[in-house]
Structure 1
Amino acid sequence: MTVLFVTGTGTEVGKTVATAAVAALADGPVAVLKPGQTGVAPAEAGDVAEVLRLTGRSLTTRELARYPEPLAPDTAARRAGMPTVRPEQVAEAVAELARDHALVLVEGAGGLLVRYDEQGGTLADMALATAALGLDPAVLVVATAGLGTLNTTALTAEALAARGLAMHGVVIGAWPGEPDLAMRCNLADLPVAAGAPLLGALPAGCAADTGAPFVSTARASLAPALGGTWDAAAFTATHAIPAPGR
């Protein structure tokens, strides 16, 4: 795994924290690329700065475009009168970073099919353009824990499959201290909806930690496929609720 695109099933699902967790556990030099940062002023810290803060490690970070309003990148670019980001531009940046890094993480904005340019280019198109350059990108999907997540996860999985893109797995971006019935049931149902393994469940509020404490949380919350020790079967069994009548 050299290139991993990180997308969500929607906004505010924990993509940046998940990106930081994967970066924190990766061996070798890591690069984090944000194709389009929205909702921040020129001098404000964006998502790549948050990844640096959380991991406390040396990372190569790059942001290709920044727009002030918290909108889809294409919309934000139009309203600001600024250039959009093309899939080929992102792929070229990924290929350049991949030459000198063991892992390149590309964090999207919102969900998989959010528009970045006037032609409707999406994060999925960026992954396809990266594949066209001879790399083999995979996609990590960050999902919510609760009711409704099965539908958005299944839709994301279908969109990836229709484009011939590999889903590396699903990570729950914020697992609460007191999960409800739907959340507990979703642990078993999410891999079915995704057609891919559940690779972690990051504790809600873990972004309050930085450096070594965050790395420890990441290791305990992500599966071995992402560098951690988390066991999906054991976690699911711990939170399982017997069916009525049993």
Structure 2
Amino acid sequence: MTKASDLTGSSGLSGLPQVIFVTGTDTGVGKTITTAALATALSGTVSVYKPAQTGVGDGEPADMDEVRRLSGVAKVSEGIRLLEPMAPVAAAARQGAALPSLPEHVRHIEQLAAGSDHVLVEGAGGLLVELDGGGSTLADLAAVVGNSDGGGAGHPSSGGCSSGVVVVCRSGLGTLNHTLLTLEALETRNLTAAGLVIGSWPAEPNLVEEDNLRFLQNLDVPFLGAIPQDAAALHPAGFQAGAREWLRLR
């Protein structure tokens, strides 16, 4: 039986770019827990940013609070917080709120990058969920940050950043199609797929999950590891020790 601690990728994290966009094949796949694990396992100073947080009211703990609690990384921030548990555009419309623009997100990310070895940017839902009133998505944001000098994705931007996208996927039935669709969307936009992470690996995986694991490990994208399904319940010290095993540096 394959355990999460056995699933560290052969490529490790040393090759990840300065700005890492964390997206999912769907909502609820484990983006936040993966972001917290990456924030722990990456070397140097790390900042974390979520352009749009939905489904949380003022004063309530949200995804960035969970990242801070589990990883111990202090520099976390949100672009906007919206009450309704919906996609950002719909949630903002119901609340009568104005969403930050794409250039505002870019400026904030580049400011963070100026003082950090790595910046993690956690998306809302999947890669093509809109973040602003102009139809821009996390994919568009990644393209601008990684390509504002006119070069290809992953090349230095005007702020000297390199960027790539880590895709968080499920372990169970349906994940292969969803993962391949997300990777295809990245490829068609010339965005770098920096790695795959299974966001919740069961303690007792079934045959489908074991087969899916082998398929994902053999894709032409770095497999960075898997997060055990009970990771969020760990004490922060235990989570931090575990994260370095789940996503071991090599």
What TM-score range do you get, normalising by the shorter chain?
0.7 to 0.9
The CA deviation string for residues 188-240 of structure 1, in whole angstroms up to 9 with x for no partner, is 11245x53121111111111113220012111111436xxxxxxxxxxxxxxx
Could you say which residue in structure 1 is the equivalent of 2:80?
65
Is 1:53–1:210's contact at 8 Å kept on the other side of the alignment?
A: no
Q: Distance in 2 between matches of 1:96 and 1:104?
A: 10
Unaligned runs of 5+ in 2: 1-16, 149-156
Q: Which aligned pairs between 1:159-174 and structure 2 lie closer than 5 A? A: 159-174=185-200
* 2:67 and 2:73 in contact (8 A); partners too: no
Conservation of the 8 A alpha-carbon contact between 2:18 and 2:163: yes
- TM-score normalised by length of structure 1: 0.87
Of 19-28 and 148-157, the range deviating more from structure 2: 19-28
What residue number does 1:242 align with? none
Distance 2:98 2:140 in 1: 18
Q: Aligned to 2:232, which of 207, 212, 232?
A: 207
**Aligned equivalent of 2:7:** none
Say which structure is richer in helix: 1
Which amino acid counterpart does residue 237 of structure 2 have in structure 1? A
Partner of 1:20: 36
- For 2:39 and 2:170, locate their aligned partners in 1 and report how far apart those are by CA, in whole Å: 20
Aligned residue type for 2:212: N
1:74 aligned residue: 89
Identity, % of aligned positions? 45
C-alpha RMSD of the superposition: 1.3
Mark the runs of 5 or more structure 1 residues left unpaired by the alignment.
226-246
Distance in 1, matches of 2:128 and 2:20, equals 16
Deviations 1:129-154 (A, max 9, x none): 21214322110000000110000000
Residue in 2 that maps onto 1:30: 46
Which whole-Å CA distance do the structure 1 matches of 2:238 and 2:59 have between them?
28
Structure possessing the higher relative contact order (Cα contacts under 8 Å, 6 or more residues apart): 2
Aligned match for 1:54, one of 70, 73, 97: 70
Query: 1:39 aligned to 2:55?
Result: yes
1:1-246 map, 5 Å: 1-55=17-71, 57-131=72-146, 132=148, 133-134=157-158, 135-192=161-218, 195-224=220-249
CA drift at 1:119:
2.0
